[in-house]
Amino acid sequence: MTAQQLSQNLTALLDLTAAKGALSRVGHTTVAVVLGVIFVLGFLGNFVALLVFSRYSVLRTPVNLLLINISASDLFVCIFGTPMSFAASVRGRWLTGNYGCRWYGFSNALFGIVSLVSLSLLSFERYSAVLHSIPLDSSQFGRARLAVAASWVYSLAWTLPPLLGWSSYGPEGTGTTCSVQWHQRSPESRSYVSCLFIFCLLLPLLLMVFCYGRILLVVRTTSAERRESRVLLMVVSMVTGYLVCWLPYGVVALLISFGRPGALPPVASLVPALLAKTSTVLNPVIYVLLNKQVTVNHLLKDDNYTYQGLTSTLAKNFPRDRLTEARPHTSLPMDPQTTTHTLTPPLHPGLLYMVEGGTGLPGENLGRHTCKSHIERPRPVGIEPSAVVSGIYIYIWYILHIYIVCTVIIMILV
């Protein structure tokens, strides 16, 4: 089959898919509005996250390098993917032809898998810091860079095959988006869908559940109730966000590939596709804006104001049975503006990120035993503005999900 014939067939398939799963004008407009909201929130959230990371060198840590990778991949989805599907929904049909459809499917799969793999690698890095006391200081930058590179290589390994003949990219749902051809019944296509589900969705999920589950067990046995509840909220938010955004999409893909033909109407695939796109909105909230190291204080302070925070770690020479006997010690140096704290709190090594001023990332400050706080003006008290912004952001995210589900149900019933 020549390239011209392939182009004609794919164009005809685009028109046929759009005709079979045609939405009303109101339906397409509704989807366009949802995509527009996802684009604005996702673009702003990830752009601000990258801007903050690039502006403040204190945030350029090995673990945050993975967060930067997640924000970058989500931002690429907002730039290269969402506008195309938004324009298609506004017009009610796909606009950029077969090559644009293949590019859309490839790029969204590439950036999406990079984000998923980076989330699982982030959970493993935190697990290593907490359970194995691996320091996440500047000496681990090489390891973090390797993890970032591995996420892109791994994603390319699973997104290039459809361009080379193992399955293919084409229109999905109502014909205004493109992805892997889930509906193809050939053995090659089904084997690819199965491998994609196992290696790019299920395995990262199992790794996250295992790592965060072990971290939570350590927190329950070594930290105070307030800190335990904080970590529990963080873990539940991460795993729930992953499940809500990506699991429905994977399940629907399996049902389309292995289920009875026509069992799922094209409109039914809208919800999982839109939920997957909302991951670009949720990720910067959970992993960046709720990071205790990223607060409005960083944006408000001038260059002369530095707050290193009261963070400390447990030296390996201290046995665990002496943890409960440890007491804070404070020495007053000659400079009244500087206080040196030597603290050995009764926490598991790696969980000391819970100390106020920490980053919120387990093990981030491992490798230091004594730290200094240079305070030239008092730290603000009360509710930080970043917490309010994050709360509003999450509230909008949940409202968006409810709006998507209710809208699609109404369209199906009508």
pLDDT, tens only, 261-320: 777 777 777 888 888 999 898 888 776 666 655 554 444 443 433 333 323 333 333 344
Query: With contact defined as beta carbons under 8 Å apart, do 280 and 71 qualify?
Result: no
pLDDT exceeds cutoff 80 at 354? no
Specify the pLDDT at position 360: 44
- Range in 36-50, 156-170, 330-344 with the lowest mean pLDDT: 330-344
- What integer pLDDT is reported at residue 12 of this predicted model? 44
Confidence band for 347, pLDDT divided at 50, 70 and 90: very low
3-state helix, strand, coil in the chain (%, to 5): 65, 5, 30
- By three-state DSSP, how is residue 291 classified? coil
105 against 9, higher pLDDT? 105
Mean pLDDT value across residues 32-51: 91
pLDDT above 70 (res 164): yes
Give the confidence band of 364 by pLDDT, cuts at 50, 70, 90: very low
**Is the model's pLDDT at 184 over the cut of 50?**
yes
Averaged pLDDT, 180-205: 91
Which is higher by pLDDT, 77 or 14?
A: 77
Position 87 scores a pLDDT of 92
**Where residue 372 falls among pLDDT bands split at 50, 70, 90?**
very low
The model's confidence at residue 219, banded by pLDDT at 50, 70 and 90, is: confident
**Which is more confident, 8 or 275?**
275
Question: Which residue did the predictor score with more confidence, 267 or 4?
Answer: 267
Which pair of tokens denotes residue 334? 């000659």
pLDDT at 290: 62
Nearest by Cα to 190 from 249, 264, 258, 248 = 258
Q: What is the pLDDT of residue 136?
A: 55
Nearest-10 Cα torsion for 215, 218, 224, 225: 70
The residue behind tokens 């001023």 is 357
Q: Is the pLDDT assigned to residue 119 strictly greater than 60? A: yes
Report the distance separating Cα 287 and Cα 270, nearest Å: 26
CA separation, residue 244 to residues 138, 183, 282 (Å)? 34, 23, 10
What does residue 181 show for φ and ψ, rounded to 5 degrees?
-75, 85
As a whole-number percent, the residues of the chain with pLDDT over 90 amount to 26
Asked whether residue 156 carries a pLDDT value surpassing 90, the answer given is yes
Domains along the chain?
Answer: 10-298+386-413 (1.20.1070.10)
| pTM as predicted | 0.70
Give the pLDDT confidence score for residue 83 in this predicted structure. 93
pLDDT computed for residue 292 by the predictor? 59
AA letter at 126? R
Q: What is the mean pLDDT of the chain?
A: 71
| C-beta separation of 56 from 296 below 8 A | no
pLDDT at 104: 95
Q: List, for residues 47-98, the tens digit of each pLDDT value.
A: 988 988 888 877 778 878 888 999 999 999 999 999 999 999 998 889 989 9
User: What does the pLDDT read at residue 152?
Assistant: 96
Query: How far apart are alpha carbons 144 and 149 in whole angstroms?
Result: 9
pLDDT at residue 311, as a whole number: 31
